[in-house]
Amino acid sequence: MKADRSGQFRVLMYSHDTFGLGHLRRTRAIAHALVEANKDVSVLILTGSSIIGNFDFKTRVDFVRVPGVIKLRNGDYTPLKLHMNIEDTLAIRASIIRHTAEAFDPDLFIVDKEPLGLHGEVESTLDYLTELGVPCVLGLRDVMDEPALLEPEWERKQVLPALEKYYDQIWVYGLPQFHDPLEGLQISPAIRRKMVYTGYLRRAELEEPTGWFIPQKIDGPYVLVTAGGGGDGDEVVDWVLRAYETNCAMPYPALIVTGPFMQGESQAAFRARAEGLENVEILTFDAHLETLFSDAVGVVAMGGYNTFCEILSFDKPSLIIPRRFPRREQLIRTRRAQELGLVRMLDPVDGADVGAMATALRTLAQQNPPSDIVIPGLLSGLENVNRLARRLIDQPRPSVRLASAHP
């Protein structure tokens, strides 16, 4: 039974964060929406992100950082900072996650993308919370991967049994007419019944941004170029820079955000090239990226989930260069968005031609904005998440106590 907290409720969120910023930024957006809409709710985020401290959090949102782990390009994992093997690092993470859940005693547990966590590190916590009757939710982005790649991965990780056993609901942060993230998988009717499409997660500019970037070269509208976390954004930044280097008469300057995880050597090389251009400015990272969208006439970006939400939310014409590896997620999302008329895609597989990029940049501001395409419920994600979470939080919890639970 829930402890008497004078009508206060707690939501625990898990975001494994081994590569890039996507999981953390999505989790943070949901956490902020929950506390804004529910004055009786506090949210604690479990994360391995090395830069979570660079972000601001609203009152009643806080985080616990577990030891960082990064995903290498070959798919293996390694500790971010600790000089120890990955198995011991994962054991520490799993212990922190479990003990945090015991002490925090949540009324709702929301897991982002990885049903059992990194290498199964959340399974013990899921066992504990489900035995206590705490509702557990898995949040999935609109696109996971190609079925031929996702199916063997989920079979290896024993994901489908976990969805059956642990999760009360599966929230898909998208729309069924856009994409089914589990398309092509042999999903049982029981799992299908747990799936709820929320719509995309709307982003908004901060009312009082603090410490945000002020351009030095650029005075007026610009093309915003973002490589997401930056770990695999070299090709996008290079392609845009080559277009500006060979075409002096661009109608708008470019503001390039490389991302905090781009290799230092690449960042230094790009900065050196930008210094020779009067109409290009580069910064590494801005925790309030939303503030940079307002003055942008258009956006050049990779096809990540959060960037797509921002493009829709700020209604910006966009040029998307999706990555193809290690997942096909961005390519699938971008192709579908282009089919619907929401974005335009440039594929580097076609040769990363500098002329094609220059032409696309010159015409970017004349593209139709996403709002020209009417899709009911497209950006209703946060409202629906609040509604779904409220129902789960308010439902009575069974009077169950485990021997391992704190008295």
Tens-place pLDDT, residues 205-216: 766 555 567 788
Say if residue 35's pLDDT is above 70: yes
Task: State the pLDDT confidence band at 386, using cuts at 50, 70 and 90.
Answer: very high
Query: Is 34 or 287 the better-scoring residue by pLDDT?
Result: 34
pLDDT, position 205: 79
Assign domain 222-372 to a CATH class: alpha beta
Say if residue 399's pLDDT is above 70: no
For the chain, how many helices (H) and strands (E)?
13, 15
Mean pLDDT (whole number) for 7-33: 90
Task: State the pLDDT confidence band at 400, using cuts at 50, 70 and 90.
Answer: low
Residues 247-274: tens digit of each pLDDT: 978 999 999 999 999 999 999 999 999 9
Residue 407 to residue 354: CA distance in whole angstroms: 66
Q: Which of 282, 166, 187, 144 is nearest to 226 (CA)?
A: 282
Residue 137 to residue 150: CA distance in whole angstroms: 20
pLDDT, position 18: 64
Residue 323 to residue 307: CA distance in whole angstroms: 13
Say if residue 233's pLDDT is above 80: yes
Please state, in angstroms and as integers, the Cα–Cα distance from residue 42 to each residue in 46, 129, 322, following that order.
Answer: 13, 18, 36
pLDDT, position 404: 42
Residue 35 to residue 42: CA distance in whole angstroms: 6
Task: State the pLDDT confidence band at 88, using cuts at 50, 70 and 90.
Answer: very high
Task: State the pLDDT confidence band at 1, using cuts at 50, 70 and 90.
Answer: very low
Say if residue 406's pLDDT is above 50: no
Q: Which of 61, 60, 63 is nearest to 52 (CA)?
A: 63
Residue 109 to residue 353: CA distance in whole angstroms: 47
pLDDT, position 4: 58
Mean pLDDT of the chain: 92
DSSP 3-state of 235 = helix
Say if residue 401's pLDDT is above 60: no
pLDDT, position 216: 87
Specify the pTM. 0.94
Query: Is 358 or 210 the better-scoring residue by pLDDT?
Result: 358
Mean pLDDT (whole number) for 324-344: 95
Instruction: Report the greatest alpha carbon distance in the chain.
Output: 72
Query: Is 142 or 349 the better-scoring residue by pLDDT?
Result: 142
Say if residue 73's pLDDT is above 80: no
- The CATH 3.40.50.2000 domain(s) of the chain lie at 9-202+379-394, 222-372
Residue 239 to residue 201: CA distance in whole angstroms: 29
Mean pLDDT (whole number) for 375-398: 95
Please name the CATH architecture into which domain 9-202+379-394 falls.
3-Layer(aba) Sandwich (3.40)
Q: Which of 361, 367, 370 is nearest to 239 (CA)?
A: 361
| DSSP line for 262-324 | S-HHHHHHHHHHHHT-TTEEEES--TTTHHHHTTEEEEEE---HHHHHHHHHHT--EEE----
Mean pLDDT (whole number) for 194-211: 83
Query: Is 398 or 265 the better-scoring residue by pLDDT?
Result: 265
Question: Torsion angle, CA of 163/44/131/126, rounded to 10 degrees?
Answer: 40
Q: Let me know: does 231 contact 261? Beta carbons within 8 Å.
A: yes
Residues 139-195: tens digit of each pLDDT: 999 999 999 999 999 999 999 999 999 999 999 999 999 999 999 999 999 999 999
Facing residues of 281 across strands? 255
Mean pLDDT (whole number) for 216-245: 94
Query: Is 22 or 139 the better-scoring residue by pLDDT?
Result: 139
For residue 370, whether the previous peptide bond is cis, meaning omega lies within 30 degrees of 0, is no
Q: Let me know: does 143 contact 178? Beta carbons within 8 Å.
A: no
Say if residue 397's pLDDT is above 80: no
Please state, in angstroms and as integers, the Cα–Cα distance from residue 272 to each residue in 125, 222, 232, 265, 267, following that order.
Answer: 48, 20, 19, 11, 9
Residues 335-346: tens digit of each pLDDT: 999 999 999 999
| DSSP line for 63-83 | EEEPPPEEE-TTS-EEESS-S
Q: Which of 157, 156, 151, 111 is nearest to 134 (CA)?
A: 111
